[in-house]
Amino acid sequence: MEIIIDNVQDKYQIDESINDLIEKVILECLILENKGTDYEISVSFVDDENIRELNRDYRGVDRATDVLSFPLDEDEFQIPEDNILLGDIVISVETAKRQSEEYGHSLEREIAYLTAHSMFHLFGYDHMDEKDKKIMRDKEKNVMKSLGIFKK
């Protein structure tokens, strides 16, 4: 498993503990989905302006959001060492910080949740209707519970 983390925002400190947490969340998602670890995932930390531009350009929604997922088809994209490109996760640290304060938990917990949420999008899950939303939320909760990540 290769996780490429790129911090292109400068409003909040992203330290090694957050990078380690992201790796744990991604691994737990792969385990929950009975996937191997032969994947490459990119995680980028951006600010609200960057994610607004991406949201506008790729989804036609001209506003900031917390996280965007860009899945790649694992049958088409193969890289050396037999790692399969799963996709890209883009997290707005500004929005994650606001949400963590709104929900009364840490920035680290919010980033962990957004990572899990995005991973399930990379696996093809969505939350467009209530049935699919429940399936996705249950998976996210299982990951958070499995890792002992609660409000803190």
Which residues are 89's β-sheet partners? 43, 69
Whether the Cβ atoms of residue 90 and residue 68 lie closer than 8 Å to each other: yes
Q: Is 121 flagged in the annotation as binding?
A: yes
Give the DSSP letter string of 55-71: HHHHHS--S--SEEEEE
Q: Is 127 flagged in the annotation as binding?
A: yes
Cα(113)–Cα(104) distance, rounded to whole angstroms? Answer: 14
Q: Is 105 flagged in the annotation as binding?
A: no
Tokens 């909760």 correspond to 141
- Report the binding-site residues: 117, 121, 127
Question: What residues form the annotated binding site for Zn(2+)?
Answer: 117, 121, 127
